[in-house]
Structure 1
Amino acid sequence: MKILFALLWLIRLLPMPLIGALAWGLGNIAWALAADRRRVGLINLRRCFPEMTDAERHRLLRRNFRYMMRLMLEYGVVWWSSAKRLDRLVTIKNLHYVTDLRNQGRDVILFYPHFVGFEMCVFALNQHLPLVSVYSAQKNDTLDAQIYRGRQRYNNAYIVSRQEGLRPIIKAMRKDHAPFLYLPDQDYGARDSIFVKFFGIDTATITGLSRISQLARAAVVPAIARRVGNRCELEFYPPWDDFPSDDVVADTQRMNSFLEERIREQPDQYFWLHKRFKTRPQGEESFY
């Protein structure tokens, strides 16, 4: 692990186009060797984009492997490069949707799905705003310590363990009205999930966005991270009106529908290698 960190430290010294070229080559190698991840990605794409040909889905997923490799190579950049460099690498659009609410004394939840630019963008954002995030411990102690240290590099991140529940999250949000960075778009199992549509598929989706918004009386502001060439762009969308409603199913469907629209705008930049449809309704055969 120390060798890996040393390599990432050295890679962050390279110009961004060279890091991109390295990711392009290593991404192609990963595409060829990571047969299980490739299989998962192609199953996901076949379910979500049945209108595509097999060749189109293969090309899309191959680009996705390159993007994912670039995300991993850029951990050295986000952990150890200067704050000025990170700020130059990310364009932040419509931040006023968040700052206006904070100036009014409102708490904010950032609906922040898993796109390939999410690490670079959040480190740039953390220079402008304190953030609350949920942390899951890693199995490797050295990796765990480095990820935790990286998230604290600006000394204004409130990190809550996933095992601690909602109360510490809400308490942390109320310190400086720090926005809560929330990523609810993966399969966390049947517990606390309901089945709502995602690309027309019954998908186990946690209802936390609606529940936390209600408990904290917080506004929800979507934020989407994009790669644009050798840089990234973080775009904020208007706060959701009438959210949460009195219908948690409708709220959760609203979240998935919004996410689906954004994925269709940049389908090669989403986290397709995750088993998003692992949890199935009772009696339904596994996709994988």
Structure 2
Amino acid sequence: MLFTITTLVKIVPIVTLPTHWFHWRFLTLRYWPIWLGLGLMQIMAVLPFRWQLAIGGQAGRWISRIARRRRRIAAINLALCFPELTATQRAALLENHFAALGIGLFETAMAWWAPDKKLRGLARIEGAENLQQAMDRGKGVILLTGHFTTLELGARFITWQQPFHAMYRSHKNLLYEAVMRRERERRSRLPPLAHENLRGLLRAFRQGRAVWYAPDQNHGIRNSVFVPFFGVPTCTLTATTRLATLSGAAVVPYFPRRLAGNAGYEIAILPALDHFPSGDVVADTRRINELLEHHIRQAPEQYLWVHRRFKTRPPDSPRIYPL
């Protein structure tokens, strides 16, 4: 059947917010671009998958031309993490990364608004029994992953196996924050928890629930240690060890990956980490970084290289990123 604009208009819902989250300020001019973007995302969510890949890839390459600062950050990160590649190979990886970022916009739209019927045929989940075994312990689970371009869609696939709380940091734009919370909670079936809400996190674990967590962003030296990440001393959060120690929750890593062509996605759920926490917070944090690095290398273009991962440096070390 021909996919027409008329069909698109009929099936795309109007962007709405629950009334208890809505505020009249969301109708002011400053929020109009966000409303427009959200409307476009709902259109993006219903496009055929092959269109999403093609348009998203081209959009990402276009974004790389105008987002020069982020492109430079990503180029620096790739040079640090893949010194074994030639300059030509890293340039190709950089282009593929921005294509993955563009596709990630469509993946976020699908995660929030695509029906399960559309997504079921795209995902292959391996190791679901590992998550179930960890949940059966009754002490809760830390769903450990990293900041991949497939982050939102990968989490959507996990909700088919297990409801979870998402540990997150608030977005500065209030309208986007409201929509993001709404859609994440609607799909995960449990409310998100702020990363600083330790009491709420421990309560969730006592109730035997799962909490999604990605510890691989730079939030400063507080509650962090320097351990290698792709051979670079990297300021890395120790919250995974802290939460596991306080709660007794199992740490179950999972990693989403978009497959080549139109083959869809693979979500690998690994067994719960054994002997974790070990009593050595530095060794535990290094272990997590090594695990992340191993899975990033399987599809390096799909990791979030535009983040200033190495912003915080060891004492007396030179700055890596330009001001």
* TM-score using structure 1 length: 0.95
SS of structure 2 residue aligned to 1:104: coil
Give the letter aligned to residue 88 of structure 1.
Answer: G
SS of structure 1 residue aligned to 2:46: coil
Q: Determine if contact 1:112/1:183 at 8 Å carries over to the other structure.
A: yes
Tell me the equivalent position of 2:123.
90
Q: For 2:101 and 2:308, how far apart are their aligned partners in 1?
A: 15
Q: For 1:12 and 1:219, how far apart are their aligned partners in 2?
A: 34
Give the deviation of 1:155 after TM superposition.
6.4
Q: Determine if contact 2:74/2:94 at 8 Å carries over to the other structure.
A: yes
- Cα 1:34–1:154 change in 2 (3 A) is closer
Give the letter aligned to residue 167 of structure 1.
Answer: R
- Does residue 215 of structure 1 match 2:246? yes
Q: Structure 1: state its 5+ residue gaps.
A: none
Moved over 4 A (4+): none
- Does residue 58 of structure 1 match 2:91? yes
Question: For 1:243-282, what aligned pairs fall within 5 Å after superposition?
Answer: 243-282=276-315
- Per-residue deviation, residues 199-240 of structure 1 (Å, max 9, x unmatched): 111100011111111111111111011001442211011211
Give the deviation of 1:53 after TM superposition.
1.0
Tell me the equivalent position of 2:185.
152
Q: CA RMSD in A?
A: 1.4
Tell me the equivalent position of 2:201.
169
Larger radius of gyration: 2
- Cα 1:238–1:163 change in 2 (3 A) is closer
Give the letter aligned to residue 170 of structure 1.
Answer: L
SS of structure 2 residue aligned to 1:158: coil
**Which of residues 232, 239, 262 in structure 1 aligns to 2:265?**
232
Tell me the equivalent position of 1:139.
172
Tell me the equivalent position of 1:24.
57
Tell me the equivalent position of 1:121.
154
Give the letter aligned to residue 243 of structure 1.
Answer: F
Q: For 2:156 and 2:188, how far apart are their aligned partners in 1?
A: 12
Tell me the percent identity.
36
Give the deviation of 1:106 after TM superposition.
3.7
Q: Structure 2: state its 5+ residue gaps.
A: 1-33
* TM-score using structure 2 length: 0.85
Give the deviation of 1:32 after TM superposition.
1.7
- Does residue 202 of structure 1 match 2:237? no
Give the deviation of 1:184 after TM superposition.
0.1
- Per-residue deviation, residues 79-128 of structure 1 (Å, max 9, x unmatched): 22212323332221101101012223242111111122221121122133
Q: For 1:66 and 1:101, how far apart are their aligned partners in 2?
A: 36
Q: Determine if contact 2:164/2:188 at 8 Å carries over to the other structure.
A: no
Q: Determine if contact 2:45/2:109 at 8 Å carries over to the other structure.
A: yes
Q: Determine if contact 1:86/1:120 at 8 Å carries over to the other structure.
A: no
**Which of residues 135, 156, 160 in structure 2 aligns to 1:102?**
135
Tell me the equivalent position of 1:45.
78
SS of structure 2 residue aligned to 1:223: strand
Give the deviation of 1:74 after TM superposition.
2.8
